[in-house]
Amino acid sequence: DGNQIRVSLDQWILSSYRSETIEVARRLDTVWKSFFRGQIALSFTIGIVTTVAMSVLGLPGAVVLGILAGVLEVVPTLGPILAMIPAVAVALIEGSSYLPVSNLVFAGIVLLVYVLIQQIENNVLVPRIMGMSLNLHPLLVLIGVVVGASFAGILGAFLAAPVLASLKVLGSYAYAKIIDQE
């Protein structure tokens, strides 16, 4: 029904503003598509890094756990925790394939590696990947995540980057209108 909705919305827009409105909508569409592409890139990155890290540690089922980490990456804050639980459980039950440590110590190592991956993701990967995909400075994305989390919790942190990029598009349009530019 997207085309029908667009046609009915076009009737509410004055014809003199229709081309501008279509251009702003196209740019906003690009922002949100870029966000979702960045989210997919982040999921793949975390999945691969987790697979490699767990393989290096000798954790049985590293590929499955890496896939799980990548898939759950789209769930803000809780996803990485949910992905870590089965990895730690496998480490406690199975132990390492080749590290000569007890299962309890190995589970602690796995837990520390997951926390390290999350710290690198939250402080390096998310600002860079989302910043590049949305054409925003990584520091701005990081500040946006903190502000979004304080105002709207997990959902605010998750949507901070695309909302900032959307505000940038709308601000650019408003600025152009104020100084009478295209």
Per-residue pLDDT tens for 54-81? Answer: 999 999 999 999 999 999 988 777 888 9
| Whole-number average pLDDT of the chain | 87
Please name the amino acid found at residue 152. A
Rounded to 10 deg, the angle between the 15-57 and 78-94 helix axes is 10
Quote the DSSP letter at residue 13.
Answer: S
The pTM score is 0.77
| Whether the Cβ atoms of residue 70 and residue 54 lie closer than 8 Å to each other | no
Condensed to tens digits (0 to 9), the pLDDT of residues 156-173 reads 888 888 898 899 999 998
